Amino acid sequence: MSKNSARNPASFAAGADCTLRHAKTTAASLVGLLEAGSGLAVDCAGVEQADITFVQTLMAASRSCAARDLPFALTGMSDVVASAFHRAGVTPPGAVPSELSGI
């Protein structure tokens, strides 16, 4: 375990619109927080719209954290976000596949 993984992860509250329109801004914010070296905790409770770009962004952030031995968590996953992962055919990072019907 690296010394960085013992830190509390940086929090990021995803906005209501997590679609292609805001993908670049979301990705830039996550990269900035990741560069701090303490991992990420993404709060998805307020997401009202999500598409495949949001799923891809979260998966990339999760892989980046794993490559740096940093924690990554999705919290407050709204039904919209769960549905976006389901439509993409992937399990959200940290979720057990059986928790999501159809995956």
26-75 pLDDT, tens per residue? 999 999 999 988 899 999 999 999 999 999 999 999 999 999 999 999 99
The CATH number of whichever domain residue 32 belongs to comes to: 3.30.750.24
Domain membership flag for residue 1: no
Structural domain for 35, as ranges: 9-95
SS (H, E, C) the chain: CCCHHHCCCEEEECCCEECHHHHHHHHHHHHHHHHCCCCEEEECCCCCEECHHHHHHHHHHHHHHHHCCCCEEEECCCHHHHHHHHHHCCCCCCCCHHHCCCC
Q: How confident is the model over 41-50, as pLDDT tens digits?
A: 999 999 999 9
Q: What pLDDT does 8 receive? A: 87
Domain membership flag for residue 73: yes
Domain membership flag for residue 3: no
**Mean pLDDT (the chain, rounded):** 88
Percent of the chain with pLDDT over 70: 85
Structural domain tally of the chain? Answer: 1
